[in-house]
Amino acid sequence: MIRSAENDMSRKEAVIRTERVTKIYDSGEVQVEALKGIDLEIDPGELVAIMGASGSGKSTMLNILGCLDYPSGGNYFLDGIHVNDLDRDQLADIRNRKIGFVFQGFNLLARTTAFENVELPLLYSRQQEIGDPAQLTRQALERVGLSDRARHYPNQLSGGQQQRVAIARALVNQPAIVLADEPTGNLDTRTSIEIMATFQELNRQGITIIMVTHEHDIAAYCRRVIEFRDGWIIRDQEVPRPHDAGKDLEAGRWKTASQPGERP
Amino acid sequence: MKWKNLIKVAFKSIIKNKMRTLLTMLGIIIGVGAVIVMVAIGKGAEQRIQNQIASMGTNLIMIFPGSMQSRGVHMGPDQGVQLTLDDVDKLKKNSTLLEAVSPVVRSGVQVIGGSGNWNSSVWGVSEQYLEIRDWEMTLGDFFSANDVRAQNKVCVIGQTIVKNLFANEDPLGQQLRLRNVPFKVIGVLKERGQSSFGQDQDDVIIAPFTTVYYRLSGQPHIHQILARAASLEQMTQAQAEITAIMREAHKLPEGEDDDFTVRNQTDIASTAQETTKVLTILLASIASISLLVGGIGIMNIMLVSVTERTHEIGIRMAIGARSRDIMVQFLIEAIVLSLSGGLLGVLIGFVSTYIVHLATDWNTVISLENVLLSFGFAGAVGVFFGYYPARKAASLNPIEALRYE
C-alpha cells in the first residue's frame, strides 16, 4: 500500500477498499491483464482524480468501482459491502443506492426533460423510504443551480448545463460516491472549470467524488491524484494546494491557460 | 421498480416516439379491424340464412316419391312407386303427431288472362297448405275444404303473376285460363321474394289439388306430400311416424328399403348454413393472418428499438435498473402498443363494417364475443412477440450498452 498504515488507522472506515483486484479480459486465445492487483483505499469526503493514458487500466478500474463489472480476482468493498459476492440484480441495486455516475457524453435520455432525467434513479429505487421523489429531484437540481431549467429538454441545454443535469441525477439518490468518467472531456475550458467548481462545492458539502481525467489542469482541482500505467498504480499522492475553480472563474483563468506548457 | 413507475416509464417512452408508435400499431390496427369486418360479414350471412330457414316454416316435413336406392340400383322417379291420394288419407287418419297434411300436385302451364299470358306452374294442394307453409295472404281468402271437395275451379296467385297479368287492375274475381280450364282468382299471396336457392317463390298459382289432379294434370300421381309436425321438438318422432305409416300403406316387408323419402326443410337449409359457417371461418383465418403479421411487425420494430436504444438501456442499467425492470418496461411497451392498436382496430372495424353494410347492403353482425376475442388476441400477440425483444434488452451488458453509440 502506498499510503502509510498509521494514516489509515486514524481515518474513518474507507468508502472504497480494494485488495489485489485484478481484471483479465479473455478473448479466446489472447488474455489481456488490464489490472494486475490494485490495492486502493478511498475515504469518505475525498476528491480523487484517476489519471493515465488509454490502456492504462483506469477505465477498467472505474467500471469495477462502479459495480458495472466484476473483478477477476481480489476483493472489493464498497461502503463495507463485499461486492464480489453480489449477483447481477444486487449489483444494480448497489449502483442505484451507493453510486452516482457522471459520464463524458452526459448520457441523458433524449426527449426527456431535465427533471425526468434527474428523477429516473428514484423510479428504479427499491428502498422503502426515499422521500418524495419530486422534492428530492428539485433539491438535486437546485444543488447544481439548474432549478429554472427543470422543464428543458437536453437539446435545449448547453453542454455544461447538460453535464450539471447529469451531476444532479448522480446526486439524487444520495449516493456514497460519485464516479465521473472524464466529465469535462466534451466541454470547453471555461465550462470545464465551471463543472469543477460544482464538483468542488459538492465535495465541500461532504460528497466523495472519484473522477477519471487525462487533463492535468483538471486533475489540479482535485485533492488526490492516482496515476495508472499498464494495470498498476504508479503514483498516488495528495495535491498540496488544489486549485480553486471558483476563484479561477472570477480571475478569468480560462482565457490564459493555467498551464501553458500543456497546450499546443 | 414499483409497478406504477414501470408503467410510467413505458408510457413515457411510447409517447416520446409517436411516429414509431403509430407505425408499430398499424399492423395490429389493420389486423384487428380486418378480423372484425370479416367475421361480421360471415356472421351476417349466417344469420341471414338462419332467418330464411325460420321463414320456411321449420316444422315442415316433405315426403317425396321413390327411394334414393333400391337394392343397390338407383331408381329414376318414374320407375319407383308413386305417392297416391290414398297415402295422404292414411297419414291424415293414422298420425298423431301431424297437425296438417297436404298433397302437392304440380303442373307447368301457360296462363292466359288479364293483360296477356304467362308461363308458370300451378300447384294443387289442400286447404291446409297455407297453414303448413306459414304463408300469408294480402288480398282475398285461401280456398276452403268445400272447394277441395267440390273440385271448384278457384285459385290463389302469387305477386309475380299479379305483376305480369294484372298490373293495373284488381285481380280478385278475375278469370285465368289454364289449359283452357277457367279458374277464378279468389286471393293473392303475400310477397315472399327469392328462396335461398334462387327460386322465385311468387311465380305460383295455387288451386285445390282435386281440381288440378282430375282436370289439369292428367298424371295419376302426386309429386309430394307436405306435412306440418305439431311441434318442433317432435320433428324426429313425427318423421319416424310418417315412415311407419307410409311403409304400412305401401306394404313394404321388413328389410325392404323405403320407396319414398322423408325430409325436413332444416336438413336442406343446414347444408347452406354449414357452407356459410365455413365461409366465416375462412374469412376469420385470413384476417387472423394479418393480425399475426401485425404481431411480427411489433416484434420487428421492438427489436430495432432495442438496438436503437441500447445506449439508453445502458444508462438505465448504470443508474440501477435491474434486468427485470428493463424487460418489464419493454414488455409493457409491447402490450400497450398492441392493446391500443387493438382498441383502434376495434373502432376501425366498427366503422368499416358499417361502410361495408351501407355500400353492399349485406347483413353484418358484430358480436361482443368477436370483439373481445380479437382484442384479447391482440394483447396476446403483444406479449408473445414482445417477449423476445424484451429479453434481449434485459440481457445486455451494461458496459457494452453504455459504450454503444
Cβ count near B374 (within 10 Å) = 25
Residue-level pLDDT at B72: 54
Q: Does A98 touch chain B (CB under 8 A)?
A: no
Contacts of A206 (CB under 8 A, 6+ apart): A44, A45
Residue A181: CATH number of its domain? 3.40.50.300
Residue A30 lies in a domain: no
- Cβ A88–B323 below 8 Å, yes or no? yes
Question: Taking 90 as the threshold, does the pLDDT of residue A204 lie above it?
Answer: yes
Residue-level pLDDT at A10: 42
Q: What are B183-211's pLDDT values in tens digits?
A: 999 999 988 877 656 778 888 899 998 88
Residue-level pLDDT at B236: 82
Residue A125 lies in a domain: yes
The maximal CA–CA distance of chain A, rounded, in angstroms, is 55
Question: Taking 90 as the threshold, does the pLDDT of residue A211 lie above it?
Answer: yes
Q: Does A63 touch chain B (CB under 8 A)?
A: yes
The residue segments making up the domain with residue A229 are: 45-71+87-254
If phi > 0 it is left, if psi is from -120 to 50 it is alpha, else beta; for residue A180 that is beta
ipTM of the complex: 0.88
Residue A118 lies in a domain: yes
Interhelix angle A189-204/A159-171, nearest 10 degrees: 20
Task: Give the three-state DSSP class for A33.
Answer: strand
Cβ count near A252 (within 10 Å) = 9
Give the minimum alpha-carbon distance from A120 to chain B in angstroms, rounded to a whole number: 8
Cβ count near B119 (within 10 Å) = 10
Residue-level pLDDT at B319: 92
Question: Taking 80 as the threshold, does the pLDDT of residue A259 lie above it?
Answer: no
Q: Does A23 touch chain B (CB under 8 A)?
A: no
Residue A261 lies in a domain: no
User: Contact at 8 Å (CB) between A59 and A219?
Assistant: no
Q: What are A14-61's pLDDT values in tens digits?
A: 899 999 999 999 888 888 899 999 999 999 999 999 999 888 999 899
% of chain A surpassing 70 pLDDT? 90
d(CA B349, CA B342): 10
Residue of A66, A69, A123 lying closest to B1 (CB–CB)? A123
Nearest by Cα to B9 from B331, B394, B378: B331
Residue B264 forms beta bridges with which residues? B61
Give the minimum alpha-carbon distance from A168 to chain B in angstroms, rounded to a whole number: 12
Q: What are A140-166's pLDDT values in tens digits?
A: 999 999 999 999 999 999 999 999 999
pLDDT band for position A102 (cuts 50, 70, 90): very high
Burial (CB count <10 Å: 0-12, 13-18, 19+), residue A7: exposed
List CB contacts (< 8 A) between B395 and chain A: none
Contacts of B77 (CB under 8 A, 6+ apart): B65, B66
Residue A39 lies in a domain: no
Residue A160 lies in a domain: yes
Residue-level pLDDT at B220: 66
Residue-level pLDDT at A262: 43
DSSP for A58-80 reads: HHHHHHHHTTSS--SEEEEEETT
User: Contact at 8 Å (CB) between A46 and A30?
Assistant: no
Q: How many domains does chain A have?
A: 1
Residue A208 lies in a domain: yes
Residue-level pLDDT at B278: 86
If phi > 0 it is left, if psi is from -120 to 50 it is alpha, else beta; for residue B69 that is beta
**What is the helix (H) or strand (E) element at residue A49, kind and residue range?**
strand A47-51
Q: Does A66 touch chain B (CB under 8 A)?
A: yes
Q: Which residues of chain B, if any, have pLDDT below 70? A: 1-2, 53-58, 67-81, 195-197, 217-220, 266-270
Q: Does A263 touch chain B (CB under 8 A)?
A: no
Contacts of B271 (CB under 8 A, 6+ apart): none
**Residues A220-244: what's their mean pLDDT?**
93
List CB contacts (< 8 A) between B324 and chain A: 89
Nearest by Cα to B189 from B167, B162, B170: B162
Residue A144 lies in a domain: yes
Residue of B319, B322, B398 lying closest to A89 (CB–CB)? B322
3-state secondary structure B47-111: HHHHHHHHHHCCCEEEEEECCCCECCECCCCCCCCCECHHHHHHHHHHCCCEEEEEEEEEEEEEE
- Cβ A92–B9 below 8 Å, yes or no? no
